[in-house]
Amino acid sequence: GAVVSQHPSRVICKSGTSVKIECRSLDFQATTMFWYRQFPKQSLMLMATSNEGSKATYEQGVEKDKFLINHASLTLSTLTVTSAHPEDSSFYICSHPGLARETQYFGPGTRLLVL
């Protein structure tokens, strides 16, 4: 199956700073990528759909100005958490669908801790 990487795998930052998380599709040209968020001991929730060459679409309740998504190439989507606060501490996972959208290829996730 396709390989997806995320960088960094873990990040600790101070409140008020911005953090960028990269999601790379290593062997597949992904026109669409998804960003999920998972708070401790909770389920994964879709945050947004990243579309190559166009604006991301955000799920209800997700602030687009706080979670900036850029999908500038077919192999890279970035999620920037701007002015991070402790409540943004979470596990962020990206994925992209396969050709027929039947399956998803997930990255290993990024743990963000905001102090």
Partner 1 sequence: AQKVTQAQTEISVVEKEDVTLDCVYETRDTTYYLFWYKQPPSGELVFLIRRNSFDEQNEISGRYSWNFQKSTSSFNFTITASQVVDSAVYFCALSSSNTGKLIFGQGTTLQVKP
Binding site for partner 1 (CB under 8 A): 1, 32, 34, 36, 38, 42-46, 49, 91, 93, 95, 97, 101-104, 106, 108-109, 111
In the bound state with partner 1, the residue whose beta carbon lies nearer, of 80 and 104, is 104
Please provide the DSSP assignment of 12-58 as one string: EE-TT--EEEEEEESSS--SEEEEEEE-TTS-EEEEEEEETTS--EE
In the bound state with partner 1, the residue whose beta carbon lies nearer, of 32 and 80, is 32
Question: Cβ distance 45 to 35 under 8 Å?
Answer: no
Compute the least distance from the CB of residue 42 to partner 1, in Å: 8
Q: State the CB neighbour count (10 A cutoff) for residue 96.
A: 25
How far is Cα 81 from Cα 69, in angstroms, rounded to an integer? 9
In the bound state with partner 1, the residue whose beta carbon lies nearer, of 88 and 109, is 109
Compute the least distance from the CB of residue 16 to partner 1, in Å: 26
Compute the least distance from the CB of residue 32 to partner 1, in Å: 7
**Of 58, 17, 54, 56, residue with least CA distance to 37:** 58
In the bound state with partner 1, the residue whose beta carbon lies nearer, of 2 and 82, is 2
